[in-house]
Amino acid sequence: MVEFSQSFLREIFIYNDGKLYWKIKPSRNVNIGDRAGSQNNDGYRVIKINQKRIAEHRVIFMFYNGYLPDKIDHQDRNKLNNHIDNLRECTSQQNQYNRKATKNSSSKYKGVGWKKQANKWQAFITINGKNSHLGYYDNEDDAARAYDKAARERHGEFASPNFG
């Protein structure tokens, strides 16, 4: 785990519009005022501090709040939107609630899948690691709306609906 304080971060970075810029010259190839970090293979921007890489959103959270939680959620699900208003502390489960539909699903919507035996779209929601059946639907959009309703009820502010 990278150890640093809020005051240390404020000495070395300037925060502007969801991005961090160097207040110091951290290396020979980096200048004062340069944007800190680079994008990694997972799609997050990471910054090297004291020879350790840490995600920019974690640095920004600490920069503003003075502590570093185990998990931080991007409310809009955009890994590169590190505006402080888009970042919130969460549990692992809440972070999973606010994710996009998986790419290997039979549906383009989260919480929806094609049920071959029923020849219908099935809506389901995962709670505590278990799928809960929400019904069968002739229309994929109707199944997605059923998921959205259940997600808002059960996941609250961390719900990630298919339709706004």
The per-residue DSSP string of 16-57 comes to ETTEEEESS--BTTB-TTPBP-EE-TTS-EEEEETTEEEEHH
Local confidence pLDDT in tens for the 164 residues of the chain: 567 899 999 999 999 999 999 999 999 999 999 999 999 999 999 999 989 999 999 999 999 999 999 999 999 999 999 999 999 999 998 888 877 777 777 889 989 999 999 999 999 998 777 889 999 999 999 999 999 999 898 888 888 888 86
Question: What phi and psi values does residue 132 have, to the nearest 5 degrees?
Answer: -115, 125
State the Rg of the chain over Cα.
20
Residue spans per domain, the chain: 6-90, 101-158
What pLDDT was estimated at residue 8?
A: 97
Q: Does domain 6-90 have CATH number 3.90.75.20?
A: yes
Q: How far apart are CA 121 and CA 135, in angstroms?
A: 8
What pLDDT was estimated at residue 1?
A: 55
Residue-wise pLDDT tens digits, 16-47: 999 999 999 999 999 999 999 999 999 999 99
What pLDDT was estimated at residue 102?
A: 73
Q: Pull the structure tokens for residue 137.
A: 């639907």
What pLDDT was estimated at residue 2?
A: 60
Beta bridge mates, 15? 20
The CATH number of domain 101-158, selected from 3.90.180.10, 3.30.730.10, 1.10.3720.10, 3.40.50.1820: 3.30.730.10
From residue 62, how far is each of 38, 66, 111, 126 by CA, in Å? Answer: 19, 5, 33, 31
Question: What phi and psi values does residue 158 have, to the nearest 5 degrees?
Answer: -95, 0
